[in-house]
Structure 1
Amino acid sequence: MKIKVGAAALLMSLALTTVTGCSMTDAEESDSPPFAGIATTSQAADATEKVSSELYDLIGLKGKATEPGPGTNACSGKDPEKYFTTFHAWTFTPASPDQLDGVMERLREELPKHGWKVVDFGPDNTKSRSLTLTADNDAKKHSVKIAHWAEENPPKLNLFVVSGCYQVPDGEKVR
């Protein structure tokens, strides 16, 4: 799946700015994501979907996740035919609204046990002051921003997973 321009590109730019923490940045280019390796867009999307699935398992609650799969976007400042990032935005709605009580604090404790470094935790700047958690996984070259939308009916978690910058194999182009 390739998302080209419009709202998805704006969302990706904002997400890379807010999601990518210090440990996920290259020393040379602090505004761009780290190099994630060489992969086809399909292989990279599969890796991002796997990271999302692992996060779903870490949530540890029964409920429903939205279905849209990962998308791709260009890496800032790099050749868009050769370099790309993947992202996966999804929402988790628990079977029972009260199940989300304490889930963000539990994730804050559990994520580091699974290779994640929590780089930000606290209320966001929205009117609802949603509790958010941003974490990086250097080994997987992915970051996640999780927001607990407690004011929604029903309450839910919103997750935005983003990869580092991939390069397509020689002779291929970003699809």
Structure 2
Amino acid sequence: MFYGPHPVPTPYHRSGSPLILPLALVLTGLLLSGCGMTENDGNDSPGSTAGNSQEARAGLPDAGTATTEEAVAAVKEVSSELYRFAGVPGKASEPGPGVKECEGKDPETYFTVYHPWNFAPTKPGDIDVAMENLKERLNTGGWVTKQLYHDNSPNKALNLIADNDAKKVSVWIVQYSEDATPSLGINVTSGCYRVPEGETIDHF
């Protein structure tokens, strides 16, 4: 796990607004201790009260040098991979990736990419199948599941957090099984990119 204690965007909810959870993302210890997957009903679930804003994240790993366009394309490809991992027919929400500065670094030189989106299976009953497929695939091909737990929301939503250190990305998935339209809230976040010399960062 390469994310330390810091605020992150909450997973995208089908209503178009993030799920608001009074929680703190504290994951550095998992990387340092080598802890694996856990599933529980504890209150130390990763998340934050980020409101409707997308907050910059601190302590991000170095993701290398790339233009904004290249970094956004890389994150979009990860989201496409997750869509394939779900393994059932469904619809993904439209909002694309966003670009923010890396906290504590020169905003003219460094940036990070985030992509919150939503996946709604065509058949509501496939929501469990999609999550099971993701749980399986997010322990293969460089992906490592770091946390699997039920949060302290009224519906005890299942959350999954996984990292791919090679791609320098992390994904947080929340299963909204009890919604009128069952869906998965998915948030992909990148490490901290450095823009090539002579290039500018397009923040959006």
More strand by percentage:
1
* Structure 2 CA distance for aligned equivalents of residues 172 and 45 of structure 1: 15
Percent of aligned pairs with the same residue? Answer: 46
Paired residues for 1:5-44 under 5 Å: 13-15=7-9, 18=25, 22-23=30-31, 31-44=58-71
- Distance, in Å, in 1 between the alignment partners of 2:197 and 2:31 is 28
Q: Which runs of 5+ in 1 are unaligned?
A: 1-11, 25-30
Query: What TM-score results when the alignment is normalised by the length of structure 2?
Result: 0.72
Of Structure 1 and Structure 2, the greater helix share is in: 1
| CA shift digits 1:139-158 (9 cap, x unpaired) | 00000000000111110001
The answer as to 2:164 corresponding to 1:164 is: no
> Aligned residue for 1:122?
149
SS at match of 2:9: helix
Superposition RMSD in Å: 2.1
The residue number in structure 1 matching 2:75 is: 48
2:112 equivalent among 81, 85, 101: 85
Aligned equivalent of 1:136: 163
Length-normalised TM-score, structure 1 = 0.83
Secondary structure, aligned partner of 1:79:
coil
Aligned to 1:105: 132
How far residue 111 of structure 1 moved from its aligned partner, in angstroms, is 1.2
Gaps of 5+ in 2: 1-5, 11-23, 33-57
1:127 Cα deviation after fit: 2.0
Aligned counterparts of 2:65 and 2:179: Cα–Cα separation in 1? 40
CA shift in 2, pair 1:20/1:52, >3 Å: farther
Specify whether residues 82 and 48 from structure 1 end up closer, same or farther in structure 2 by C-alpha distance, changes over 3 A only: same
- Give the drift of 1:23: 4.1
Q: Using the alignment, how far apart are the partners of 1:106 and 1:53 within structure 2?
A: 15
Offset at 1:20?
6.3
- Counting matched residue pairs gives 158
Judged with a 3 Å threshold, the aligned counterparts in structure 2 of structure 1 residues 59 and 23 are, in CA distance, closer, same or farther, namely same
